[in-house]
Structure 1
Amino acid sequence: MTTAETLPPFWDPERDEVLVCRAVRRQTHDVATFILTAPAPRRFRYRPGQFMTFTVMIGGVACHRCYTLSSSPSRPDAVAITVKRVAGGPVSNWLHDHLRPGMEIAALGPAGDFVLDVRADEAAEQYLFLSAGSGITPVMSMARHMVDTRFDVDAVFLHSARSPDDLIFERELAWMESQAPSLRVRMICEHDTPWRRWPGAMGRVDSALLAREVPDLLARRWFVCGPEGYREAVRALAMQAGLDMARFHEESFDFGELVAEEIDRLEPDGAPGGVQYSVSFTRSRREIACAGDMPVLSAARAAGMRLPASCARGMCGTCKCKLVSGTVEMKHDGGIRQREIDQGMILICCARPTSDLVIER
């Protein structure tokens, strides 16, 4: 009989650093799910929708990427990521081509704020999950968790894909719908394939489809994930329908978008006095000026330095550096452990100087 004393300890992001691949499950022709556990028995606790940061060595270079956990915390003995192979994407292609059962992969987290928080003792609320492509992963975690833990789940799940061949979790969602009658799943395909005609909704999400499938959409809390164009279109539909936008939640893990957003931070935020600090990079032998209200990475790029970075908001850990001297203000999003901070490491994408700095980079 299992008791609290015999249960495995929880995964500790401050100490545990490696996960082991236990299984690889093909979802579509270019999407696979990787089932991961700790080397020794561990339980995982996280909020549905959170991500982990993974590090792989490719050509001798450490590459970092954030992937949402598609698994549910209601099944705590393993975690899973569901990854689409991206043309030219070094990490997604490495995972598909090389990660096999028994292999280890470095991991940090979980972290992230695009989450569903539902307690069993709370009054039931109505939800609308909207996803496109591989953006299904966080909302799939949310849906799995609700089906596992709430008997009064009231949710509509609308997922969009290019074709029937690109539908992720199609069979599992059909099974979940059969187990939870108040969960309604609708798949939308842009077009058929030569070998499979799609009998359901065709095209893209629009106001007519939403009105037909979700007549009570204004009463629901929306969770949206997918490519930027999809999220913009859904956001516009929500505003057009008159949704209280406090009930609209969205997430994206497009690193191209995140790095592009960093350009918007190249101008100081306008802190009083416009204080400037000197930042010296020991390996690059460069010295730049950085305003106290500007991330170090932004100032370095404005000065023409080429420094590695992926997410530009403290999630992935790519820009982690040793702070040799000086002080910074840093608000990160899970891309660094507290013990690393205690050892003098910083993420320069979200670290703002509060004195002159010397950085080992």
Structure 2
Amino acid sequence: MARPPLFQRATVTRIVKETADARTFVLAPHEGPLAYRAGQFCTFRVRVDGAELFRSYSMSSAPETDGELMTTVKRVPGGKVSNWMNDNLVEGDEIEMTRPAGRFCLRDTDVPLLAFSGGSGITPILSLAKSALASTERRVRLLCADRDQASVIFEAVLSDLVERFPTRLEVVRHLDAERGLLDPATVRAFAGGDGHADAYICGPEAFMAMVETALPGPGLIYSERFGAPAPVTDETTAATETPAAAPPAAGTPAQAKATVTIILGRKKVSVPRTDGETLLESARRGGLTPPFSCESGNCATCMAKLTAGSATMRVNDALTDDEVADGYVLTCQAVPDTDSITVQYE
């Protein structure tokens, strides 16, 4: 089945200043409205100081309630893409983005929805809350942790939603400056009698790990993790400079004739297959520089299509079942099952 190009251009039609360090970008994709589900994200490709960088940001809009596509980006210390977007993008600019992806979505159920956000983790949580309130009769309860009052994102939007759905939506604010960091006891007290609810968590890693451990259950838990790009090290650089015909630098060599063939643009290279090596690692070893971002299986930046052979993904939190059935894989997670395999980046 034919699939549209991974990246497309979109115009920034409007910018909303949420806080001193967070902006909502309203986007108009050039190819027309994008189909997406509440809670999903897009990966953006930008060039900063001559380097091509990829970062994933969640939608703060929901298809059931918003006629515009919106993503919200908070400045992160040392974050090249978030800082560049906050400092440089203006209305009328164009930016490159993927189609929406991700599995941090609502399931078809009538159990209550509990959501826990830390800082800008409120972005996909807001999208989910909008969708649940508009398209179901579920009760929605949010526990939003922020550094201080000045850091609170979407306060007016959530206040408006509470006024519109007073019997179904509850929003509890936790400000670290006033009460200290959120702790397990507070999480359990908030969950109360809704231990059977679906719980959605997004925020800093330590925050999510604490909430996951504190929740009493037996409800399902969904956590959104984007990870971080792998650092470039001397070992990584050396691997990308290894000639395609050279033997594997690490791992246990497979059979001599077992190969991984990678097609990227007009380049096609084949390298001897190494047991346990991902397709992305094989591509780098062959001297290619394919796109990637999180290297955790959470975004779709590194996706490619298998045209021969098969592979198993260690983690897949980005591709749909239909995409997997069509042969698409996350190359950062896909390890070959067959002696020889061919993968093509779009």
Alignment pair present for 1:217 and 2:159:
no
Aligned alpha-carbon RMSD (Å): 4.2
**Alpha carbons 1:133, 1:166 under 8 Å: kept:** yes
On the 8 A contact 1:222/1:249 being kept in 2, the answer is yes
Question: 1:348: Cα distance to partner?
Answer: 3.7
Q: Which residue is 1:226 aligned to?
A: 203
After the TM superposition, list the runs of 4 or more consecutive aligned residues in structure 1 that deviate by more than 6 angstroms: 280-287, 300-308, 320-323, 357-361
Identity of aligned residues (%): 29
List aligned pairs for 1:50-89, cutoff 5 A.
50-75=40-65, 77-89=67-79
Offset at 1:212?
3.9
Match among 83, 86, 90 for residue 100 of structure 1: 90
Relative to 1, partners in 2 of residues 1:282 and 1:22: Cα closer, same or farther, differing over 3 Å?
closer
Who is 1:297 aligned against?
280
Q: Distance in 2 between matches of 1:149 and 1:92?
A: 32
Residue number among 182, 206, 220 corresponding to 1:247 in the alignment: 220
Call closer, same or farther: CA 1:322–1:176 in 2, change over 3 Å: closer
Are 2:127 and 1:138 aligned? no
What is the SS of the residue equivalent to 2:186? helix
Gaps of 5+ in 2: 237-249
The structure-2 alpha-carbon separation of the partners of 1:61 and 1:316, relative to structure 1 and needing over 3 Å to count, comes to farther
In structure 2, how many angstroms separate the alpha carbons of the residues matched to 1:304 and 1:188? 49
- Equivalents in 2 of 1:162, 1:67: separation in Å? 20
| Cα offsets for 1:74-111 (capped at 9, x unmatched) | 13532111111112222111211222211111121211
- In 1, the alpha carbon distance for the partners of 2:260 and 2:280 equals 11
- Whether the 8 Å contact between 1:275 and 1:292 is mirrored in structure 2 is no
CA displacement at 1:298 relative to structure 2: 4.0
Q: How does 1:1-361 map to 2 (within 5 A)?
A: 13-14=4-5, 17-39=8-30, 42-75=32-65, 77-118=67-108, 124-150=110-136, 152-181=137-166, 182-192=168-178, 202-238=179-215, 241=216, 243-244=217-218, 247-256=220-229, 277-279=258-260, 289-291=272-274, 293-298=276-281, 309-313=292-296, 316=299, 319=302, 327=309, 329=311, 333-334=318-319, 348-353=331-336, 354-356=338-340
In structure 2, the CA distance between the partners of 1:44 and 1:258, relative to structure 1 (3 Å rule), is: farther
1:157–1:184 Cα contact (<8 Å) kept: yes
The Cα of 1:43 is off from its aligned counterpart by 3.4
Between the aligned partners of 2:177 and 2:27, the Cα distance in structure 1 is 34
For 1:117 and 1:127, locate their aligned partners in 2 and report how far apart those are by CA, in whole Å.
Answer: 10
Cα distance change, pair 187–285 in 1 and its aligned pair in 2 (3 A): same
TM-score (norm 2): 0.75
**Contact 1:83 1:92 (8 Å CA) reproduced:** yes
SS of alignment partner, residue 210 of structure 2: helix
Q: TM-score, normalised by structure 1?
A: 0.72
SS at match of 1:217: coil
Equivalent AA in structure 1 for residue 17 of structure 2:
R
Q: Report Cα offsets for 1:160-212 as digits up to 9, x if no partner.
A: 011111111112112211211121100101105xxxxxxxxx22333432344
The whole-number CA distance in structure 2 between the counterparts of 1:117 and 1:301 is 37
Shift of 1:328: 5.3
* Residue segments in structure 1 that go unaligned for 5+ positions in a row: 1-11, 193-201
* SS of corresponding position for 1:147: helix
Which amino acid letter does the alignment assign opposite residue 122 of structure 2? I
Distance change >3 Å, CA 258–CA 163, structure 1 → 2: farther
* Gap change, CA 1:15 and 1:322, over 3 Å in 2: closer
Query: What displacement does 1:310 show?
Result: 2.2
The amino acid across from 1:203 in the alignment is G
Assess if the C-alpha contact under 8 Å between 1:279 and 1:356 holds in 2. Answer: yes
Question: Match of 1:191, SS?
Answer: helix
Name the CA shift for 1:303/1:221 in 2 (closer, same or farther; >3 Å): same
